[in-house]
Amino acid sequence: MKVSDYIVTFFIEIGVSDVFGYPGGMVTHLMDSFNKYKEHISIHLNYHEQGAAFSACGYAQISNKPGIAYATSGPGATNLITGIANAYFDSIPCVFITGQVNTYESKGSLPVRQKGFQETDIVSIVKPITKYSVKIENEKNIKYELEKAFYISCNGRKGPVLLDIPMNIQRSDVIPEKLKCYESNDSEEDNWDYDNLKNTMLEMLKSSKKPVILAGNGINIAGVVKKFREFIDLTGIPVVTSMIGRDVLPGNAKNNCGFIGAYGHRCANFIISNSDLIISLGSRLDCRQTGSNLKVFAENAKLLRVDIDNLELTNTIKDDEISVLADLDKLMTILITDEFKLKSNYKKWINACIKIKEELKDIDSQYENNIVKEFSRIIPDNSIITTDVGQNQVWIAQYFVIKNNQRMLFSGGHGAMGYSLPCAIGAYYGSRKKVISFNGDGGLQMNIQELQFIARENIPIKVIVLNNKSLGMIRHFQEMYLNSNFVQTKKEMGYITPDFEKIAEAYGLRYIKINSVEEILKCSNVLTDENPCFIEIALTDTTYLYPKLAVNKPIYDQDPPLDREHLNRLIKICNI
């Protein structure tokens, strides 16, 4: 069997239905093999390798299967890097395949920069942002390396791997039955004492008056959203989330107090800051969540942290914290018992949290927030929401009210502009559900070429651009700290946006423009049909993100600052 055929059949056997990539000389054999098996697996042409990498991320985020993207050697391989980094920082399982020059054309140990055309040592380049990367120089190792890469990508803390495969290896023949297998050195039975962890949690909860659960994206990654929701219903404990964990609970859930952090909900930041116990599940508690001054983060709260990555637990948040390395799937399974029926213990605290939410829910309301909130009202349940990076991302995180069966996908740790559009493509093929892709006018142009993909395939992705004709987040920073010197962020200093109506027309997409909240209703039918559409929302070029973390202040005291009398009243509500 030809090696490239073997690679394709391997992906079919592990359940992958769709792969993404861009043609190039060093992957022609692989592409031909994908086409040979097209009745079992679909090969999708993106219009940039970065788009393919982001599509693989979106596919993996929504399907819980590894995302696959391929590219040719040299510039094709290096164009994957931003997507690889995104998968690494957000723990997304992806297998990236790069073509490489024939082994007999490779520079090997020669002290030259390059021997073969487009030869690039992509393996060394991506080592810091992959869980595993290797160049396969012997066709007999193909099964071993594929199995190893797949195992590493999908086990423990998930993440990307890369296999660099020279062209002559791809076209070589192998006998599958004689190929060496990979066997993991990891013990099938882990040594984590889940009963002890369960008892520790139970005792801490029983001695607490004001507990909070911090739910991170690890809950999504572990595939335990349903179990988590059962646990929350059982205990009644208020929940705050990380930004990229926003969809672990519906937006209108009684326990859902919002997401914490620099641009988090005031109520969420206030509630976690006034708690006496934080149980963190699958969240790494980075400085955007806690603020840079850890001494004032939830000063009176004990902290129990549960994470799949022991290295994350070395980043100590509190001196007396309890940090536990554990698998959330196994943990959540044993937590759903009558022992955790604790709602009656926290009646006063639950009521206090409800009051805090009510008092603060619209205090930072502005036009952009209302636009997002109104869109969330008419977007169907069971849809997938993708966001880009910039002000649009924060508006969506703050004011989109997530329905019970909706998912919301972000580029979190890496914060890559241009993510939403290709991510939406991958999410569609990973679910076959309607996808709403929110974008800023800046981020959209990072991967605007993927509109051609959407138009070509006529897939039901609704592309929404929040157009403030500026790079709004940086413009806001320049206004605050650089005397409103708007270098490259506004029209008068170099930043301009195209005519998006003409862009949509050029790609053959239906176009709708929204100029007010009242006009959003005209999108109702479009959002539920089976066709793509481009929707532009006109904003002013002076937009802001509020609330936001104030320098050297605790996360509950965000800008613009609350009236001190109001702040003290909220603190009094929490003093139960």
pLDDT at 12: 98
pLDDT at 116: 85
Q: Where are the beta strands (DSSP E) in 169-299?
A: 211-215, 239-241, 256-259, 277-281
Residue 415 sits in which domain range?
367-538
Could you read off the pLDDT of 12-36 as tens digits, one per residue? 999 999 999 999 999 999 999 999 9
Packing angle of the helix pair 81-89, 49-63 (nearest 10 deg): 20
Decide if pLDDT at 189 tops 70: no
Could you read off the pLDDT of 485-514 as tens digits, one per residue? 999 999 999 999 999 999 999 999 999 999
The H or E element containing residue 508 is none
Does the residue 336 lie in any domain? yes
Does the residue 559 lie in any domain? no
Q: What percent of the chain has pLDDT over 90?
A: 94
**Same structural domain, 118 and 213:** no
C-beta separation of 212 from 239 below 8 A: yes
Residue 533, helix vs strand vs coil: strand
Decide if pLDDT at 220 tops 80: yes
Positive or negative CA dihedral for 570, 305, 129, 92? negative
At 164, is the pLDDT very low, low, confident or very high (cuts 50, 70, 90)? very high
At 243, is the pLDDT very low, low, confident or very high (cuts 50, 70, 90)? very high
Average pLDDT over all residues of the chain: 96
How many domains are contained in the chain? 3
**Same structural domain, 54 and 156:** yes
Packing angle of the helix pair 347-360, 564-574 (nearest 10 deg): 160
**Same structural domain, 67 and 162:** yes
Does the residue 64 lie in any domain? yes
Picking from 300, 326, 360, the residue at the C-terminal end of a domain is 360
Decide if pLDDT at 398 tops 70: yes
Could you read off the pLDDT of 258-312 as tens digits, one per residue? 999 999 999 999 999 999 999 999 999 999 999 999 999 999 999 999 999 999 9
Does the residue 560 lie in any domain? no
Picking from 133, 151, 178, the residue at the C-terminal end of a domain is 178
**Same structural domain, 139 and 271:** no
Does the residue 109 lie in any domain? yes
**Same structural domain, 474 and 522:** yes
pLDDT at 351: 96
Whole-angstrom CA distances from 160 to 149, 165, 182, 198, 449 are 9, 16, 18, 31, 24
pTM: 0.96
Output the domain CATH number for residue 139: 3.40.50.970
At 187, is the pLDDT very low, low, confident or very high (cuts 50, 70, 90)? low
Does the residue 111 lie in any domain? yes
Does the residue 53 lie in any domain? yes
For residues 146-161, give the mean pLDDT: 98
Q: Greatest CA separation found in the chain?
A: 77
Does the residue 101 lie in any domain? yes
**Same structural domain, 78 and 40:** yes
pLDDT at 52: 99
Whole-angstrom CA distances from 524 to 376, 518, 527, 529 are 11, 12, 5, 9
At 365, is the pLDDT very low, low, confident or very high (cuts 50, 70, 90)? confident
C-beta separation of 326 from 173 below 8 A: no
**Same structural domain, 428 and 530:** yes
Strand partners, 211: 277
Secondary structure of 372-423 in HEC code, one letter for each residue: HHHHHHHCCCCCEEECCCCHHHHHHHHHCCCCCCCEEECCCCCCCCCCHHHH
Place of tokens 């309301």: 365
**Same structural domain, 51 and 108:** yes
**Same structural domain, 449 and 327:** no
CA-CA distance, 538 to 189, in Å (whole number)?
Answer: 56
**CA gyration radius for the chain?**
25
DSSP of 87-144, one letter per residue? HHHTT--EEEEEEE--GGGS-TT-SSS-SSTT---HHHHHGGG-SEEEE---GGGHHH
**Same structural domain, 157 and 257:** no
Q: How many other CB atoms are there within 10 angstroms of residue 180's CB atom?
A: 12
**Same structural domain, 84 and 198:** no
CA-CA distance, 550 to 291, in Å (whole number)?
Answer: 9
**Same structural domain, 307 and 199:** yes
Output the domain CATH number for residue 346: 3.40.50.1220
Picking from 338, 360, 382, the residue at the C-terminal end of a domain is 360
